[in-house]
């Protein structure tokens, strides 16, 4: 299992190259089709441009971490990345066995090993395989995604790159744990599972309490790993350590093409789990995670918890239920499109609250400054300041901790507090934020941008009090964020129409796809009347959705008469 190899001298060769179009780095790194990354020097140009963008102290003699979600092309890409790292003077790379390490685990290892940063080979929740997507991103020294000042430099350097520095070293055997030395450069192949479970969750949760729930004969649990990276962690954590029953993990073997599926844990793509959880014999608790393990979906018996509600419900219950938060919560934050449910929890707990653009890096600054404990995004991302990434397994364990705490001391046969009970109690105390997201995937980019320009022209003419059906406009703008920590400004983050009763709809173009443009429509309405909390979200939101589609002229611009995914 453990190997060691050594080579006396590291020779560096300079490979001539030229700029390649289309390498602009988004909020989640660079994502394209696999065949694009396999073109000559495409990946190498981006990696070298990254090293050219970092300070000398973050490259020469630096320590880096390398992992990925196990998708197709990760193995050859890992070898390219290590050779370019060595060619640029990096001292050591910690790489996961077989290159498989979840995004939250990479963040945890960066922090634990005090590394200068790390590479994550993933296109997140996008499909994998030779004809599908691949991606790469860089996380900085505190484990958070690289800030815009770095990603902007990377893009600038991709437009002027002339050479790639690559060490002339053999490929590293990533299938065995061990150390490989090439002159002054070292590669250490590490166990991703031990590193994750020890660093990322055991210090946060009460494992004996969790085991008391998962090992109960009258509690059933199902986790769908979607043939993605969390399949490597699920069985060891949920079954071996916490006592869940054998067979609790579905699709637990990571595959390069995710078993032909779309590893996005939502009601559309996690169809197998959703069908089970809404069946007559549904388990008590169901969950799924995505391609790289940073997203989550939470389900109860015939009950779905929206991501916006999930982060709010975790925050409302965190202090008594999760040991990591027993001394209190520093602050709460959400991405701008996420529903305002979390705002009400912050208000009740009397803790600071922040609304940031979409992108986990914006939470990282607040965490590093000691101002943020729990945060989330409506796109199924939830996390805390134990690391600097959203964390799917953390969110699942947080929910299980709430249930374990609420059912502590109950005997077999007693009625257990359920996911639905927790949710309904929350709505009774805070009100319900009806929320839905419509995704229109792979739209023509030019048409999508024309629609956004049309909306910008509308907000330029809008004024407070304008009527949209029964709704009175309070504010219409293109969201702008000034980071309270470093003063950086992020503009044009989403078109918002906010009404006097707190209802709102938002349009954004997403940067997480690899082809075309994804238009996202977010719709929200707040309801305090308990008699209406049982309404289906689509029914409650229908009038506002119709107004949003009419105002945007989405069908006129894109030709789409229905979304690809509804959440």
Handedness of CA 233, 238, 243, 248 (dihedral sign): negative
Contacts of 434 (CB under 8 A, 6+ apart): 524, 525, 526, 527, 535, 537, 540, 541
* C-alpha angle 134-65-511 in degrees, rounded to nearest 5: 35
Q: Name the active-site residue from 124, 373, 379, 552.
A: 124
Place of tokens 């490259």: 59
**Token couple for 45:** 């140009």
**Contact in structure between 433 and 238 (CB atoms under 8 Å):** no
Nearest one of 485, 204, 478, 435 to 333, comparing CA atoms: 485
Closest CA to 388 of 98, 141, 201, 93: 141
Quick one: how many helices (H) and strands (E) in the chain? 17, 28
Buried b (16+ CB within 10 A) or exposed e, 130-165: eebbbbbbbbbbebbbbbbebbebbbebbeebeebb
Based on the residue annotation, tell me whether 124 is a catalytic residue of this protein: yes
* Cα angle: 441, vertex 445, 447; to 5 degrees: 100
Neighbours of 39 (CB within 10 A): 11
Q: Which residues are catalytic?
A: 124
């Amino acid at each position: 299992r453990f190997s060691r190899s050594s080579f006396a001298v590291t020779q560096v060769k300079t490979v001539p190259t030229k700029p390649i179009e289309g390498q602009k780095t988004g909020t989640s790194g660079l994502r394209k089709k696999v065949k694009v990354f396999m073109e000559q020097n495409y990946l190498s140009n981006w990696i070298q441009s990254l090293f050219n963008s970092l300070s000398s102290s973050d490259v020469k003699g630096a320590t880096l971490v390398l992992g990925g979600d196990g998708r197709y092309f990760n193995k050859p890409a890992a070898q390219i990345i290590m050779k370019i790292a060595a060619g640029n003077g990096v001292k050591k790379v910690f790489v996961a066995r077989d290159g498989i390490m979840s995004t939250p685990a990479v963040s945890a290892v960066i922090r634990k090993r005090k590394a200068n940063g790390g590479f994550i080979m993933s296109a997140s929740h996008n499909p994998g395989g030779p004809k599908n997507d691949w991606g790469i991103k860089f996380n900085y020294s505190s484990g958070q995604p690289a800030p815009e000042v770095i990603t902007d430099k990377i893009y600038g350097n991709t437009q002027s790159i002339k050479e790639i520095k690559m060490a002339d070293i053999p490929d590293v055997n990533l299938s065995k744990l061990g150390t490989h030395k090439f002159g002054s450069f070292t590669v250490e192949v590490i166990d991703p599972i031990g590193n994750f479970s020890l660093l990322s969750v055991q210090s946060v949760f009460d494992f004996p309490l969790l085991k008391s729930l998962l090992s109960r004969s009258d509690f059933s649990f199902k986790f769908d790993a979607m043939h993605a990276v969390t399949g490597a962690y699920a069985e060891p954590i949920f079954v071996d350590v916490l006592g869940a029953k054998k067979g609790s993990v579905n699709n637990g073997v990571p595959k390069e093409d995710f078993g032909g599926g779309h590893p996005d844990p939502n009601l559309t793509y996690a169809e197998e789990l959703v069908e089970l959880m809404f069946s007559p014999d549904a388990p008590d608790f169901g969950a799924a995670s995505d391609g790289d393990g940073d997203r989550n979906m939470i389900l109860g018996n015939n009950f779905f918890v929206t991501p916006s509600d999930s982060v709010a419900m975790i925050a409302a219950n965190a202090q008594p239920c999760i040991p990591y938060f027993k001394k209190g919560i520093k602050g709460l934050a959400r991405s701008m499109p996420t529903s305002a449910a979390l705002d009400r929890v912050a208000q009740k707990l009397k803790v600071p609250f922040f609304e940031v653009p979409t992108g986990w890096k914006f939470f990282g600054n607040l965490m590093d400054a000691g101002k943020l404990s729990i945060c989330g995004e409506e796109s199924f991302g939830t996390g805390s300041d134990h690391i600097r990434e959203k964390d799917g397994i953390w969110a699942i364990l947080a929910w299980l901790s709430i249930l374990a705490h609420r059912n502590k001391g109950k005997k077999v046969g007693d009625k257990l507090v359920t996911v639905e009970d927790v949710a309904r109690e929350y709505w009774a105390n805070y009100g319900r934020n009806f929320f839905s997201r419509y995704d229109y995937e792979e739209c023509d980019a030019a048409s999508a941008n024309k629609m956004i320009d049309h909306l910008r022209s509308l907000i330029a003419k809008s004024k407070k009090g304008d009527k949209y059906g029964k709704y009175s406009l309070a504010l219409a703008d293109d969201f702008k964020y000034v980071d309270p920590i470093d003063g950086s400004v992020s503009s044009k983050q989403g078109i918002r129409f906010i009404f006097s009763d707190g209802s709102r709809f938002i349009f954004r173009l997403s940067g997480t796809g690899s082809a075309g443009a994804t238009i996202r429509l977010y719709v929200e309405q707040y309801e305090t009347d308990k008699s209406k909390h049982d309404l289906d979200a689509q029914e409650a939101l229908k009038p506002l959705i119709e107004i949003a589609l009419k105002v945007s002229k989405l069908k006129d611009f894109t030709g789409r008469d229905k979304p690809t995914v509804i959440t």
